[in-house]
């Protein structure tokens, strides 16, 4: 399967990234970021984007690694075309 999920890291080192599309909710992706030197200990953002079969979208996720870990945040994406993120 071709990986059509892309990310840029404007305020942190570039990690290795693995993303998996959920089967129950096709507009939801779980992404794992692996930092070789450990997760940065300051606020940073990740710019996610995709382009697949003429459908594209993008979202910026702000990450607070020192914040509470029990809350799950949901971020809505801006989409172009008829696709959903």
Neighbours of 56 (CB within 10 A): 16
Domain ranges of the chain: 5-79
pTM of the model: 0.68
pLDDT in tens, 34-70: 888 877 888 889 999 988 888 888 989 888 888 776 4
In this structure, the number of other CB atoms found within 10 A of the CB of residue 50 comes to 21
Class of residue 48 by CB neighbours under 10 A (exposed 0-12, middle 13-18, buried 19+): buried
d(CA 18, CA 3): 9
Q: What is the rounded radius of gyration, in angstroms, for the C-alpha atoms of the chain? A: 13
Instruction: Count helices and strands (H / E) in the chain.
Output: 0, 6
């Amino acid at each position: 399967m071709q990986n059509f999920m892309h990310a840029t890291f404007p305020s942190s080192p570039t990690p290795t990234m693995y993303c998996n599309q959920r089967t129950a909710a096709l507009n939801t992706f779980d992404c794992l970021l692996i930092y070789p030197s450990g997760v940065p200990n300051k606020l940073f953002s990740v710019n996610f984007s995709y382009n697949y079969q003429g459908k594209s979208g993008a979202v910026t996720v702000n990450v607070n690694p020192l914040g509470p870990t029990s809350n799950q945040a949901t971020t809505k994406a801006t989409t172009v075309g008829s696709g959903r993120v």
